[in-house]
Amino acid sequence: MALVPMVEYADAPPEVKAVYDEIMRARGSDWVNNFWKVLAHDPANLRRMWDNVKQVMAPGALDPLVKEMIYVAVSATNNCEYCTYSHTASARKKGMTDAMLGELLAVVGLANETNRLANGYRIDVDAAFRPDA
């Protein structure tokens, strides 16, 4: 159960309603998920985080599905239950199949393993990998 009460649309002040409306319009949906309803107890932070998500997740040099999969990779590494479920759901909507999810998590697992081998053995970075090589 969240540490602060969720703000429902009917009870929301105008600046919160405005963000909720943007979220629903952007997603073509008629509901707002719990993440935003919890953040809404602090309207300035709600606005800030939504603007961040909009800007960072917009199509650009990377396509939105790749961005969602990177989001899942980070969330699985950090063990964020909420973000793993919500961004997997988003990635599936954008076309991620079970096979893609399987490969994504296999890379996440392997990277977590080799990260610890490299850190644990204290391996020196090869000069050829440095950006000025």
Angle at 78 between CA 73 and CA 80, to 5 degrees: 90
Report the residue number, 18 or 38, with the smaller CB distance to its own copies.
Answer: 38
Distance in angstroms (rounded) separating the CA atoms of residues 40 and 33: 11
Provide, rounded to whole angstroms, the least separation between the CB of residue 127 and its own copies. 10
Report the residue number, 18 or 108, with the smaller CB distance to its own copies.
Answer: 108
104 close to 72: Cβ distance less than 8 angstroms: yes
6 close to 38: Cβ distance less than 8 angstroms: yes
Report the residue number, 26 or 62, with the smaller CB distance to its own copies.
Answer: 62
Long-range contacts of 51-59 (CB under 8 A, 24+ apart): 54/22, 54/26
Provide, rounded to whole angstroms, the least separation between the CB of residue 14 and its own copies. 19
Provide, rounded to whole angstroms, the least separation between the CB of residue 79 and its own copies. 4
